[in-house]
Structure 1
Amino acid sequence: FSNLLGAVYRQGNLNFSKDGNAVISPVGNRVSVFDLKNTSETLPLSTTKNITCVGLSPEGNLAIVVDEGAALLVSLVTRAVLHHFHFHKAVSSIRFSPDGKFVVTKENVALMYHAPGKQREFNAFVLDKSYYGPYDETTCIDWSDDSRCFAVGSKDTSTWVFGAERWANLIYYSLGGHKDVIVGCFFERDSLDQLYTVSQDGTLCVWESDTEPNGLVLKRNWAEPETKPRLGEQEEEEEEEQGSGEGEVIRGKPEAPSEKKTRNVRYKQISRHFFNREGDFNNLTAAAYHKPSHLLVTGFASGVFHLHEVPEFSLIHSLLSDQSISSVAINSSGDWIGFGCSMGQLLVWEWQSESYVFKQQGHFNNMASLAYSPDGQHIVTGGDDGKQVKVWNSNSGLCFVTFTEHTSSVTNVAFTSSGFVIVSASLDGTVRAFDLHRYRNFRTFTSPRPAQFSSLAVDVSGELVSAGAQDSFEVFLWSMQTGRLLEVLGGHEGPVSCLSFSPVQSVLASASWDRTVRLWDMLDSWQVKETLNLTSDLAVTYRPDGQELAVATLNGEISFWSPHTATQTGSVAGRHDLETGRKETDKITAKQLAKGSFTSLCYSADGESILAGGQSKFVCIYNVREQMLMKKFEISCNLSFDAMEEFLDRRKMTEFGSLALVDDGVDISLPGVDMSSRHFRPEIRVSSLRFSPTRSWSATTTEGLLVYSLDGSMVFDPYDLDLDVTPASIRKQLRLQVWSSAIVLAFRLNENALKQEVLETVPHEQGVVCGSLPDLYVEKLLGFVAACLETSGHLQFYLSWAQNLLMLHTQKLKNSGAILPTLQALQKSIQRHVDGLSKCDFNMYNIRYAAALSRQRGV
């Protein structure tokens, strides 16, 4: 797994990194890190269900990722999972203190744990204290700057202040004053005496205490019982579930504890403010507070967000977003505000300049198709969300243009051979061509009678565009140059499910539900050249050399055909490899169900393997020659999706049937209110698969666009290792200036840092070194040069290496089919630099100005 594209935020809370330059966002059951310098990365970890909250340590090195109950302790430095833990109940919020402890709230209890990793012990989560106070579920947490106490908000409209230590004058304190759910509670900077609480109905209460932070007195007599006796067996069982019986239990009552020798901490409300003054009442859904600048940010269900300076409650800024705001976060400097919106949008707003620093949005609904550009730099995706065609940069993982001309679901997308034109088919009856130079829709192809286009193909030259209709059973052909309809190919007796042009001939293959695949000759009056009869068919694709055709059928088989002789050359039975999952409402097991089929096929660049996926969580790679399964990928382990389980879940079975058949997601509303706020579980499926021209492949799934790469992140993966292959011996060869031997030894040890050191030590004018390398290491060196060109600043150095390797070994490289992905990766790297440098003409005047200024000052 390499990256996740197409989804930027689903639910949960946002976090900024410690330096404030990256946003950590939960995406389904994964975590993505968006660097605001325009790169994104998805961490190589996943939870079993959708993530509900993420807590970030004060140093920014650790994160605790929590789904509905299970938690992962993750190192953000090594990207590794350090510890697993289960809280047994749904967790509503988690927050680290400035000194490293953290508090977790679940149901009506707050659990405080010791700082993870401070002591050498097996269990990273050691329970310190359990705090019982609210009567309803807890919603939010905030710590004071000195880590001496924390505040917890609740759905019962109360806010509780608890002492992190056994203070004699502050064990617990309950604050009222609100009429709705508490959304946020915030301490003032370096202060205990100023506290802000914000509720869902748009009310801000300001509280003042009569005690300074240094006024807290530590309780000396530890034997004196300050806690109330435990209430019932159920709570005793809950405390045992925390994994450590050493934690103290502190129970609070709505009134403050009675006074003893030490005067207790008391709060009083000094002011109250309302956000909904104009009468446009809507729920306040998220709030964040930046203590150094006294900046309070609030987001609303209508998409409005406000910036206020407190405690004066003076409005600084107000803006309207187009989506409901679910989460708000402020970076450490207070300049940037991150917003997570409920429909999958992530915004970073710089409030001083009133501009967006970062704005990304995925598809509203499932992705339906994808295509790679010929150089592998761009990925285009089409979605079921009605209109969107998005283009993604495969290096940064970010979307840089969205086309919204379609008015219905986009069923298929394709690049032309030039890589600058995107063609998309839609159920709205149009096929559109988009220009990546000017970002516009420059051609719209339509049929004489309205038709819903379900399939699409563009020939190798980019001159012919074909689309298949699912309602009229016809295939339409247009000219890209003129936009004119050239021909309507009739003959199929069912909806056209898939189209594919031959890479070497003007032959179009069309698969239909009428159980045939027809080969149409584009040069001979668009006549049917061959008809392949099958039991049923869904998808068809050509091998890159055009000498073989693969067809997926409904019974889960992949058959291989020769397009010249119309004879079947082999088949793969993949019905049991697909392993269709069992839906919640199914009454039989997945094994008995076994009705899955492959809906998407794709050949690898060398034609030796075929990638297949369908209505399942698995993607299979088959060897075409041996007709056997090579590897099976599980694209998701997220149990929040349907059709993930293999067996019946007995916990959901009652005497009246499965609980899944009961729609318990409908809130009981007033009579006449629309009851459409139902929740549903999307079904896991793979809608489209493509091999990249370089060393990766992608799949559009219910989860998003998943990118899998052949470039693993292993630190030590040697090749042909021997005892004399050591870093010391390699550096000795460099000192002796035996360049060829040093390069070979470095590639045998296969450590990237050492390979780069060796290569950059060799003088670039030593072209004879390239000629003396063995053939095997020429391919490895060329692949390494292509990878270094992506990131290194030594552009001319690595370009000269690539030029010498290609000039001296052209004949040998021509005969190697496996070198094609490496060459395309090299072309992709060079093209990216060409695009970047060709836009730098405006720098010429800046350089002239700097040079003139330096001469004037005599520098």
Structure 2
Amino acid sequence: MKFNYKLQRLCGAYYGNPSTTDTFGGNGQGNGSNLLYTSNGNTLISSVSNRIQVLDLKSNTVRTLPLEARSNIKCMAMSPNDTLLLVVDVNSYAMIINFVRGVVLHRFKFKRKVRYASFSPCGQYIAVTHGKHVQVWFAPNHLRKEFSPLVLHRTYTGQSSDVTRIEWSSDSSVIMACSRDCTARIWTLHTTRDFIPVTLSGHKTQIIGAYFGYDEKNRINSAFTISEDGALVTWNAKVESFEQQPKEDIDLPPSNEFEAQVDDAVDFFSGGANRIKVDFANDDLTQGHHLVEIRWVYGVRHYFNQQGAKVVVTSYNQSSKLLAIGFSSGVFGIYEMPSVSNIHTLSVGSGQLISSCILNSTGEWLALGCPTSQQLLVWEWRSETYILKQRGHAYGMRCMAYSPDGVVVCTGGEDGKIKLWNATSGFCYVTFEQSHQAPVTAVCFANSSVVLTASLDGTVRAHDLHRYRTFKTLTTPTPVQFLSLAVDPSGEIVTAGSMDPFHIYSWNLQTGKLLDVLTGHSGPVCNIAYQQSGGTLASASWDGTVKLWDLYKGDIPTESLQHSSDVVCVACRPDGKEICSGMINGVLSFWDVENAKLKYEIDGRRDITGGRKMNDRMTANNNAASRYFTSVCYSADGSCILAGGNSKYVCIYEVSQQMLLKKFQVTFNRSLDGVLDQLNSKNMTDFGPMDDHADSGDETNYNKIHLPGAKRGDDGSRSGKVEVLTMQVGFSSTGREWATVSGEGLHVYSLDEDMIFDPISLTESVTPDAVMNKLEIGEYGLALRMALHLNEFKLVRRVLENTPFASIPLVVRSIGPEQLERLLQFLGKIMDGSPHVEFYLEWCLELLNSHGIHMDKYRGQFMRAFRSVHKSVQTKHDELKTICNENRYNLDFIEDQARLVTTTTAVKANGMSDE
């Protein structure tokens, strides 16, 4: 089993900062960053806390870049050729990323707060807001690393408050910046003779957006600014002629000498290399030079009347002349410029502030981001349809479960909602809104089409994944709060453990009748699990015991396994011969089910310990509130176990050797609490760490006491940090990926897709050229065996697709048992993106016919690979089913036409024979 798992995607949150509780707090870390489109307009880039999501709107897939910022991301900027991505976090730490490869090229820090950044249209400069100033830097080279990647070109000043937004002219020669002092200021990129920076002041509140207007010759002839109070002011650029007044009292040098001195001065300040000789008769001059004789005149004022709602964000598309406005009430509007006529107005939800909006290059798709609900929308205004609509769980996720075929991931949240995620694309396709009235505590699958959920509202509900409805609600005679849930291997008996009283309830899923109430625990039943090979139920409780129940023989427990501390989690090995239990002292215990004896223990306290919270008086190693595992899960073959808990780490252990194989840190986001192992010494005092909010004057905020079991902190606090936790972990049935639930969402880790060289049974004659030679002479079986020895994906795929359809049975029979698992893994991987459905289905059918008995005999060895193939086949089946259902009437019409042609041909043939 390989363990080179990498984070593939972060589901459950596609916009905003779910790791911050103060969405509109004073530190400004709750708002999401801006959204970006690529140059073709088919890919959307969004930030989620300190990670970057890349959403392909054509293929409907999402991926997470394999990098992290230090803290929550504040703003992003993309180069015009889609090669460089600039990311700045809330603490002004920046990264320059090679977007194509997903590699960080440079890291640095700005000295002042950065609110907005933008690449110039030519791609040679980067403009950033730097407090009250605007800094323009030379863009670095994306092909190589440099010692000093950013070189400052110039700092532009003149505004009395923080700059909020920057706008470039189309030829990158003019910059316009908006400020909180209710003004917009215009500069030229390079020093231009006779040009004086212009300040546009005509608003009562801060300016949110400012854009240029152009004439037929691509010259700037207007500008319009939008303020927070919903006012849009149009500014017209008029040519102003200056009369030359003779000045007899000043002794001026000759004109030629005076112009030479001016040119030398301009060369001195601009560097000489970028200066263009001013000649207003020449049409090749930049837009900055045409602004020299321009006088800006106050034009027309428009108002966006939205019942007192404030303008939060704007976006303008120059090619289509469309202006998009987002309001604080959740309403967004699309207007045609320069007439400011309303084309479309829609609300994304009551009270949902729109913090980011952007139009793609063609102006057809409008992307909207709402940080309060972690909602991301892509709206096509012409057809009035959603291209994309994704929304996460409010207040975070709490539990998750993989479907038996590994195609679907079900999550339950603190908001009482149930969401289904496609494991391949990463998108949510179903949400059960009114499922529960309280947080969902447990989720499990009865089969591939039925999912069960338990909640603190005292109900267990069954949901149909074909009709997308709740078809059964299971309750108890007296109201209880459920903490755990499990279903037997047959999918008929549902059991749930409660908090108080400490009982286990079992129902018949088909009839909904309460079958039995199991008693015996003296503490809350926090976790239960079934053996896959029988009807034995294992229940873990805070009373320090794990009880084994045989549901078919009565309510008397067969055994009670005593532990030294409270038990918080339990898991059964797939073969049912071993169970694993986790205690609050960080120890994992492994028990033999048949003999009810302890086999061995793994002390994971040192493995899971890490992270010091802001109010901790001591280091993480000496903290009395020790870390421990709250969720465990066996791998498909039962050789390894995955464990996660109230820590930033998730550990994988080898069971037989009691050895830590690998440890994953789910996040490095410093906006979370408990990420750093050592705190900054400047915040340390004689009484312990100094709180971030100690200077506010409220003594109750300093080292405030948290309630036991509360993970969100004091609800009365104005702001705070969320602690990093992993509530639940789970392996996919294919074994190629696993997932964990944290405060940021659903982290999905999958095996690295890079080629892995396997030198088993290799000789000097086994080379890629030899494989191709065997293909040319028709020895397909030998070519496939040699390609499997080389273990190169592209080579194996080429051999499979070059094998004739009629030769597949013979080639499959030539494969030995030692290469069978490897061939199954390649088939499962190739089928995901291959259009040759029938061809690869024939491979799967022949494998079952020829080697089905061997795979059934050693099912533990082939389970992971077989489930991977089954997942690919199931995905293809669902895709074809959808296409056939949508084209049912077309297929019936084609069938009728074919039948009619056949009948007509037969009639004509009979007529000719009669003649």
SS in 1 for 2:424: coil
Measured after TM superposition, the shift of residue 540 of structure 1 is 0.9
The more displaced of 450-459 and 727-736 is 727-736
- Give the counterpart of 1:167 among 181, 184, 192: 192
Distance 1:346 1:475 in 2: 40
| Letter of the structure 1 residue corresponding to residue 648 of structure 2 | K
Residue aligning to 1:2: 8
Q: Aligned runs of 1:228-239 on 2, under 5 Å?
A: none
Residue aligning to 2:71: 49
Distance 1:119 1:483 in 2: 64
Residue aligning to 2:840: 798
Residue aligning to 1:239: none
Distance 1:282 1:597 in 2: 48
The more displaced of 5-14 and 524-533 is 524-533
Residue aligning to 2:887: 843
The more displaced of 528-537 and 129-138 is 129-138
Distance 1:420 1:786 in 2: 22
Distance 2:697 2:640 in 1: 47
Residue aligning to 1:298: 325
* Structure-2 change in CA distance of 1:220 and 1:9 (3 Å): farther
SS in 2 for 1:352: coil
Say whether 1:363 aligns with 2:390.
no
Residue aligning to 1:567: 597
Residue aligning to 2:871: 828
Say whether 1:521 aligns with 2:550.
yes
Does the 8 Å contact 2:192/2:266 carry over to 1?
no
* Structure-2 change in CA distance of 1:619 and 1:660 (3 Å): same
Answer with 1 or 2: which has the greater Rg: 2
Say whether 1:77 aligns with 2:121.
no
Measured after TM superposition, the shift of residue 817 of structure 1 is 2.4
Distance 1:544 1:35 in 2: 37
Say whether 1:760 aligns with 2:801.
yes
* Structure-2 change in CA distance of 1:747 and 1:266 (3 Å): farther
Measured after TM superposition, the shift of residue 783 of structure 1 is 1.1
Deviations 1:590-623 (A, max 9, x none): 1111610100000001111111111111001111
Distance 1:169 1:432 in 2: 75
Does the 8 Å contact 2:359/2:365 carry over to 1?
yes
Distance 1:656 1:587 in 2: 8
The more displaced of 462-471 and 690-699 is 462-471
* Structure-2 change in CA distance of 1:664 and 1:715 (3 Å): farther
Measured after TM superposition, the shift of residue 743 of structure 1 is 2.2
Residue aligning to 1:784: 826
Does the 8 Å contact 1:8/1:360 carry over to 2?
yes
Which segments of 5 or more consecutive residues in structure 2 lack a partner in the other structure?
1-6, 17-31, 241-258, 276-288, 699-714, 902-915
Say whether 1:96 aligns with 2:119.
yes
Distance 1:170 1:370 in 2: 62
Distance 1:182 1:219 in 2: 41
Does the 8 Å contact 1:584/1:642 carry over to 2?
yes
| Letter of the structure 2 residue corresponding to residue 8 of structure 1 | Y
| Letter of the structure 2 residue corresponding to residue 134 of structure 1 | Q
Say whether 1:112 aligns with 2:144.
no
Residue aligning to 2:607: 577
* Structure-2 change in CA distance of 1:751 and 1:173 (3 Å): farther
Say whether 1:347 aligns with 2:362.
no
Distance 1:476 1:118 in 2: 61
Say whether 1:419 aligns with 2:448.
yes
The more displaced of 345-354 and 194-203 is 194-203
* Structure-2 change in CA distance of 1:678 and 1:225 (3 Å): farther
Does the 8 Å contact 2:648/2:675 carry over to 1?
yes
Say whether 1:480 aligns with 2:504.
no
Distance 1:40 1:261 in 2: 45
Deviations 1:163-207 (A, max 9, x none): 112222435222111222221111225342221211222121111
Does the 8 Å contact 2:159/2:181 carry over to 1?
yes
SS in 1 for 2:622: helix
Does the 8 Å contact 1:719/1:747 carry over to 2?
no
Deviations 1:267-315 (A, max 9, x none): 2221112213x6x212211110111222111111110111112222211
TM-score, normalised to structure 1's length? 0.90
| Letter of the structure 1 residue corresponding to residue 11 of structure 2 | L
Q: Aligned runs of 1:107-506 on 2, under 5 Å?
A: 107-117=131-141, 122=146, 123-170=148-195, 172-189=197-214, 190-210=218-238, 221=262, 223-224=264-265, 263-276=292-305, 280-322=307-349, 323-342=352-371, 343-384=373-414, 386-404=415-433, 405-416=435-446, 418-506=447-535
Does the 8 Å contact 1:169/1:265 carry over to 2?
no
Residue aligning to 1:254: none
Does the 8 Å contact 1:620/1:632 carry over to 2?
yes
* Structure-2 change in CA distance of 1:770 and 1:719 (3 Å): same
What's the % identity of the aligned pairs? 40
Deviations 1:670-713 (A, max 9, x none): xxxxx978222110000000000011111011121011112x13
Residue aligning to 2:783: 742
Residue aligning to 1:650: 681
SS in 2 for 1:34: strand
| Letter of the structure 2 residue corresponding to residue 756 of structure 1 | R
The more displaced of 267-276 and 326-335 is 267-276
SS in 1 for 2:877: helix
Distance 1:542 1:219 in 2: 88
Distance 1:519 1:156 in 2: 70
Does the 8 Å contact 2:617/2:689 carry over to 1?
no
* Structure-2 change in CA distance of 1:624 and 1:127 (3 Å): same
Deviations 1:525-547 (A, max 9, x none): 22211111112211111111110
Q: Aligned runs of 1:806-817 on 2, under 5 Å?
A: 806-814=848-856, 815=858, 817=860
* Structure-2 change in CA distance of 1:261 and 1:648 (3 Å): closer
Residue aligning to 1:26: 47
Measured after TM superposition, the shift of residue 143 of structure 1 is 1.0
Distance 1:428 1:778 in 2: 49
- Give the counterpart of 2:665 among 617, 624, 634: 634
Distance 1:82 1:850 in 2: 56
Deviations 1:784-804 (A, max 9, x none): 111111110011111112222
Distance 2:45 2:332 in 1: 21
| Letter of the structure 2 residue corresponding to residue 20 of structure 1 | G
Does the 8 Å contact 1:136/1:156 carry over to 2?
yes
* Structure-2 change in CA distance of 1:546 and 1:841 (3 Å): same
Residue aligning to 2:571: 541
Q: Aligned runs of 1:557-636 on 2, under 5 Å?
A: 557-593=587-623, 595-636=626-667
Q: Aligned residues, how many?
A: 812
Residue aligning to 1:35: 56
Deviations 1:447-506 (A, max 9, x none): 111111111111111111111111221111111111122222222111111111121221
Measured after TM superposition, the shift of residue 126 of structure 1 is 2.6
Measured after TM superposition, the shift of residue 93 of structure 1 is 0.9
Deviations 1:691-738 (A, max 9, x none): 00011111011121011112x132564545665554433322222223
Distance 2:459 2:728 in 1: 21
SS in 2 for 1:571: strand
Distance 1:170 1:332 in 2: 32
Distance 1:638 1:460 in 2: 40
The more displaced of 837-846 and 91-100 is 837-846
Measured after TM superposition, the shift of residue 816 of structure 1 is 5.6
Distance 1:31 1:832 in 2: 27
Distance 1:556 1:611 in 2: 14
The more displaced of 755-764 and 767-776 is 767-776
SS in 2 for 1:593: coil
Does the 8 Å contact 2:541/2:568 carry over to 1?
yes
Measured after TM superposition, the shift of residue 648 of structure 1 is 2.5
Deviations 1:32-88 (A, max 9, x none): 111223211111111121111111111223221222322222233222223333324
* Structure-2 change in CA distance of 1:265 and 1:589 (3 Å): farther
Which segments of 5 or more consecutive residues in structure 1 lack a partner in the other structure?
213-217, 229-245, 249-259, 668-674
| Letter of the structure 1 residue corresponding to residue 796 of structure 2 | K
Does the 8 Å contact 1:173/1:266 carry over to 2?
no
